[in-house]
Homo-oligomer: A and B are copies of this chain.
């Protein structure tokens, strides 16, 4: 089953304690689509400027990503510049140039309107709602957001969340959105907005999933080499939605497996700058690390009580 993602394609300049890169391929839709492409067919809706090079198009095409929804506008591509210290959980944004992204109004091509899996990456919640209106009858809508929209467009955001099946945000965002420091209470409040499943990303501490009746806790993979956490959240979401779309299994068990596949993809992506690790990553490696997650979290249960 096919996935449609709407978000950003960007140039990133990133500094971490392990190196510096300038104007490399980035953007939420880029990370999501590349990661999801290991599992399912992906179509991408985004905008780039005249400066977007053919090599990046070729890379996305090499992942079989359908780019008919990628518009090229006059002007420059969205660019972001950020820095991480040894605490790789939080980026310090040094510069954001929206450029062509400033006037981005996502138009969903007619041939994508039947997409069964829709991911709304972190864009203006009013635009997210526009996209929801354009996609006819998706089986699953998942979305992300950020602190900026939570503080500036809370009402619009809550309306979108009411239309979404799965919300994928980080712990700081969950606390900000609910105004509640305790994560379990925060989750209950967010679920009351109408979303069925809440996935809370906690960086190096892994992921918590909350539904009305259920909590699932997945660790992050303990890595020796974390070069660049940029895009980890979207890479997680891509692996997660990709696996769901691949199997069509939306049961609790299916969603848990999808969370582990998402975690696997994120764990690989942070091993190198930009999407560079994705250029060589094989499906065999993905399965290997899934098995490592299983081995790393397994413990024996207790015998059934009498």
A interface residues (Cβ-Cβ under 8 A, vs B): 86, 181-185, 202, 205-206, 208, 215-219, 222-224, 226, 253, 256-257, 259-260, 287, 290-291, 294, 296-302, 305
Contact = CB atoms under 8 A, between A and B. Distances in A.
A174 to B, nearest CB: 12
Which of A208, A219, A224, A305 has the most C-beta atoms of chain B within 10 angstroms of its own C-beta? A219
B256 A224 contact: no
Contacts of A223: 182, 184
Given A202-B205, A215-B222, A222-B183, A297 B300 contact: no
Contacts of A206: 205, 217, 219
A299 B294 contact: yes
B296 A222 contact: no
B205 A205 contact: yes
19 contacts: A182-B223, A182-B224, A183-B222, A184-B223, A184-B224, A202-B205, A205-B205, A215-B222, A216-B296, A216-B297, A217-B297, A218-B297, A219-B219, A256-B299, A259-B299, A260-B299, A287-B305, A294-B299, A294-B302
Given A290-B302, A302-B287, A302-B290, A215 B296 contact: yes
Given A184-B223, A185-B224, 11 more contacts: A182-B224, A183-B222, A205-B205, A217-B297, A218-B297, A218-B299, A219-B219, A253-B299, A256-B299, A260-B299, A290-B302
